[in-house]
C-alpha cells in the first residue's frame, strides 16, 4: 500500500514539475527590452512593465535567476533581464535611475548600473560591451547557487 501511494505521488508531482519548467521557459523566451515603460521627471526616471510574462517571472522570485542571467549577454534582452533581476534582488544596492538627453533627442538612462538608450521612437537598446560588464557585475554579486 505504501509503494502504491509513493507511485501515485510521483505520477502527480513529475508532470506538474515538468509543466512548471515549460511554463518558465515560455515566460523567459517571450521577454524583450521593449516591454519596459519609462517615466521621467527632471533627471530622475522610473521603469515599469506592462508584460504579464515579466511580472510572472518577478513573482517567481530568486529561483528563476539561473534562467534570467544568461539573457544579460544579449543586448536585445539585457535591459529587461536586468530589470527582472533588480526587482527580484531588491537588496542589491545600486544607485538611482538617472537619465539625460543627447543632442539627437536620444534618452541615455543609467538604470542601477546598466547604461542604455531610448530612441525617440521609444525603442530601448544597449551595447554588447555594456551588457557584458553588467553580466559580470551580476555574476560577482549573485550567490554561487543562483548563477
Kindly report, residue by residue over 57-77, the tens digit of the pLDDT: 999 999 999 999 999 999 999
Secondary structure letter of residue 113 according to DSSP? T
Q: Are 114 and 141 in contact (CB under 8 A)?
A: no
pLDDT digits (tens, 9 = 90+) for 120-133: 888 899 999 999 99
Task: Assign 3 a pLDDT band (cuts: 50, 70, 90).
Answer: low
- Domains of the chain by residue range: 2-146
Nearest one of 131, 141, 139, 142 to 63, comparing CA atoms: 142
Count the neighbouring beta carbons within 10 Å of the beta carbon of residue 29. Answer: 12
Q: What predicted TM-score, i.e. pTM, was given to this entire model?
A: 0.80
Mean pLDDT score of the chain: 84
Amino acid at each position: 500500500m505504501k509503494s502504491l501511494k509513493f507511485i501515485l505521488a510521483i505520477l502527480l508531482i513529475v508532470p506538474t514539475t515538468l509543466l512548471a519548467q515549460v511554463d518558465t521557459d515560455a515566460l523567459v523566451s517571450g521577454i524583450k527590452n521593449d516591454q519596459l515603460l519609462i517615466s521621467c521627471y527632471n533627471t530622475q526616471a522610473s521603469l515599469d512593465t506592462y508584460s504579464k510574462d515579466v511580472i510572472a517571472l518577478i513573482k517567481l522570485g530568486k529561483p528563476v535567476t539561473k534562467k534570467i542571467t544568461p539573457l544579460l549577454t544579449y543586448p536585445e534582452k539585457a535591459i529587461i533581464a536586468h530589470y527582472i533581476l533588480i526587482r527580484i534582488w531588491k537588496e542589491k544596492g545600486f544607485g538611482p535611475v538617472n537619465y539625460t538627453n543627447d543632442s539627437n533627442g536620444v534618452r541615455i538612462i543609467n538604470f542601477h548600473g546598466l547604461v542604455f538608450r531610448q530612441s525617440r521612437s521609444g525603442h530601448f537598446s544597449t551595447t554588447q560591451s555594456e551588457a557584458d560588464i553588467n553580466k559580470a557585475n551580476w555574476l560577482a554579486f549573485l550567490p554561487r547557487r543562483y548563477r
